[in-house]
Structure 1
Amino acid sequence: MNDLAELMRHKRWVDAAYLELAASAILVGKPELQRELLYWLNHIHIVDQIFHCHLIGKAHGFSSTVSDEIPDANDLSERMLDLDDSLIVLSEQLPPHAAKGSIRFQFTDGADGRMTRSQMFLHLSTHGLYHIAVSGTHLARQGIAIPPMLLTTMLHAS
């Protein structure tokens, strides 16, 4: 098992927990908080799709990393976890020499970008954790119990 694949497994574990929270009765009863969490989970998913396309060499078709259209929690969960599974497989199959190879791309604002494949996987891990941590802190201040996010917690549980 390689470290990039471990990070993608961790990403999926955290995503799954927060998607479950978004669909829970607690947040269904607090629609403004549910919408906020779904907004950020959807943003994470959009960025995941964009970088997945960069990694596999396909056009992504996005002109922004945000959307005012917030998907249903169950629909987003299915799509997000399917993509997480694809990212796990892609990271598992990535040869070490290819992980160091860089990819040129354009950001959604049109700026040129260049990152190694490893950096892209690291970005997907840290980007999602950042937004989930901020959202989780906000939810915790509202008295909502949030799922754990630490890699060590996931490793200990498994």
Structure 2
Amino acid sequence: MSSKTLLLSLFKYKSWADEELIVSLKDIEKDLGKEGLGQILETINHAHVVDRIFAANARKQKHDYRDTGTAETPKLAELSEAIRDTDRWYLGYVEQLGPHELVETIRFTFTDGTPGEMSREEMLAHVITHAGYHRGEVGRIVTQLSKPSSPDTFTGYLHRAEPARRLSEL
């Protein structure tokens, strides 16, 4: 399996897991309370901002973020649409990358002003792992509030996306 094939699969998983989270949050939004919902929205907003920052970095473009959050935390509906748009963008972006573009090293500046350097595929891997970490953080908050958390495992995604993987015998 090539790194591009793996990255595509992981971004499809990320999109699925993000959607599962959004749907589950919409179902329990009214029951979360202001503090719980606030923590959750700040967390997924942070993950989304980092997604946007690295989308710019991967394209060697400047971005306007000076922090990994925003002054005002968006409401769930607005943030959900932004996350869906960004997930679609990443899927299209990874699809069109060639092998040489994936391994290309790119210099950029972190939001704290320090310089950074990563390959494009390292940036993409960071986006995947960073988002998963914060979805897990949201899952912990939701569970502590005695609400059901959304499914979020790569194997779970693969078996839903490709049910035949569960049917074959060893």
d(CA) in 1 for partners of 2:36 and 2:62?
A: 33
Check conservation: 1:22, 1:28, Cα contact below 8 A: no
Out of 75, 83, 91, which is 1:88 matched to? Answer: 91
Quote the RMSD (CA, aligned, Å). Answer: 1.3
Paired AA for residue 90 in structure 1: Y
Q: Is the 8 A contact 1:105 1:114 kept in 2?
A: yes
| Partner deviation per Cα, 1:126-148 (whole Å, 9 max, x = no partner) | 00111111221121122110111
Q: 1:99 aligns with which of 99, 102, 125?
A: 102
Q: Is 1:62–2:65 an aligned residue pair?
A: yes
Q: In the comparison of the two structures, how many residue pairs are matched?
A: 157
Q: Are 1:27 and 2:21 an aligned pair?
A: no
TM-score w.r.t. the length of structure 2 is 0.87
1:76 paired with 2:74, answer no
Shift of 1:67: 2.5
Matches within 5 A, 1:1-158: 2-24=5-27, 26-29=28-31, 30-158=33-161
Contact 1:22-1:37 at 8 Å conserved across structures: no
Displacement, 1:7?
Answer: 1.1
Q: Distance in 2 between matches of 1:45 and 1:88?
A: 15
* 1:68 Cα offset (Å): 4.1
What residue ranges of structure 1 are gaps of 5+ in the alignment?
none
Q: Does the 8 Å contact 2:60/2:108 carry over to 1?
A: no
Q: How far apart are residue 33 of structure 1 and its match?
A: 1.5
TM superposition shift of 1:92: 1.1
Q: Distance in 2 between matches of 1:74 and 1:102?
A: 36
Q: Describe the SS at the equivalent of 2:111.
A: coil
Cα deviation for residue 23 of structure 1 reads 2.2
Identity of aligned residues (%): 32
Q: Which runs of 5+ in 2 are unaligned?
A: 162-170
